């Protein structure tokens, strides 16, 4: 009797090899991001849906009684792929908060910090790591967050709502780096006064990172956040860590070489001794 070996599925072997190779590459990429995380000199956190559980602009809109209207504007802007600055302007135009309303909202609203962020920031501070809050939200809403986390006001990069002399809404400061998105380049102009102030020409979270690296000579900066504007910050950030503890955005998850849903994962990873891998 002649035994004839049946052919193995041609597709089966390549799929197995490809999957194994892909998993290995993915694991190596994650480990590289972990190593960068552990040696970061500065860490920049997004605020809305990252450091905080909610979206500040949505909460403010609801307080003003225009929550649904602002949500509709947001959906329309996103579907049309509007640039961040245009979408922000459209939402603010619907809200038009005056100074008194903004202050009242801040006074009655307690920041809803994401579980584990206090401990993580505390651990980073104990290591001597500089922590920044980099947000497309509003500075007035983020100041209480920074205070709770022990982060210096000077380490907040966010947007500023403008008011006229009567305290009425008068637009927003378009000179803020976070008032737009997309630019990875930043040019610095040093003023002639003794304070040696720096002025950035470009905008977006990538430009914030570039500014920090040029101004403070950080060798390693990490960006942590849930959104596309966070993911686009690397480079110039040396690493981007996607966060899905409050909301999972599949596009961001796909772009992140390391994606976590619990801040304890990041905190515990700081205890890892890289020398053990050598």
Look up 48 and say whether it is catalytic: yes
Question: What pLDDT is recorded for position 145?
Answer: 96
Per CATH, is 32-54+111-270 categorized as 3.40.50.1000?
yes
Could you tell me the CA-to-CA distances from 210 to 55, 219, 221 in Å, in that order? 26, 11, 10
Task: Tell me the H-state helices in the chain.
Answer: 12-38, 56-63, 67-79, 84-95, 99-108, 117-126, 139-149, 205-216, 228-231, 250-255, 263-269
Out of 46, 180, 226, 238, which one is annotated catalytic? 46
Confirm if 33 and 257 have CB atoms less than 8 A apart.
yes
pLDDT in tens, the chain (278 residues): 444 444 444 444 344 344 455 556 577 888 899 999 999 999 999 999 999 998 889 999 999 999 999 988 877 655 546 678 888 888 999 999 999 999 999 999 999 999 999 999 999 999 999 999 999 889 999 999 999 999 999 999 999 999 999 999 999 998 888 888 764 444 444 434 444 454 444 578 899 999 999 999 999 999 999 988 889 898 899 999 999 999 888 888 889 999 999 999 999 999 875 545 54
Query: 48, 180, 226, 230: which one is catalytic?
Result: 48
238 catalytic, yes or no?
no
């Amino acid at each position: 009797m002649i035994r004839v070996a049946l052919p193995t599925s041609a597709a089966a072997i390549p799929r197995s090899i490809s999957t194994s190779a892909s998993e290995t590459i993915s694991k190596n990429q994650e480990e590289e991001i972990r190593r960068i995380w552990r040696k970061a000199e500065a860490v920049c956190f997004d605020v809305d849906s990252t450091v905080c559980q909610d979206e500040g602009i949505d909460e403010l809109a609801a307080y003003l009684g225009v929550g649904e209207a602002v949500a509709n504007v947001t959906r329309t802007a996103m579907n049309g792929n509007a640039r961040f600055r245009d979408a922000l302007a459209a939402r603010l135009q619907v809200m038009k908060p005056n100074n008194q309303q903004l202050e009242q909202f801040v006074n009655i609203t307690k920041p809803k910090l994401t579980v584990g962020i206090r401990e993580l920031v505390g651990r980073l501070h104990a290591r001597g790591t500089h922590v920044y809050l980099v947000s497309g939200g509003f500075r007035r809403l983020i100041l209480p967050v920074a205070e709770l986390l022990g982060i210096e006001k000077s380490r907040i990069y966010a947007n500023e709502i403008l008011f006229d002399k009567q305290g009425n809404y008068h637009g927003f400061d378009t000179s803020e780096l976070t008032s737009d998105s997309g630019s990875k380049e930043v040019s610095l102009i040093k003023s002639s006064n003794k304070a040696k102030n720096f002025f950035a020409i470009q905008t977006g979270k990538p430009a914030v990172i570039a500014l920090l690296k040029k101004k403070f000579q950080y060798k390693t900066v990490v960006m942590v956040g849930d959104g596309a504007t966070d993911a686009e910050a690397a480079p110039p950030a040396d690493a981007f860590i996607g966060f899905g503890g409050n909301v999972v955005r599949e596009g961001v998850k796909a772009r992140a070489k390391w994606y976590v849903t619990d801040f304890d994962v990041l905190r515990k990873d700081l205890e890892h001794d890289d020398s053990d891998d050598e």
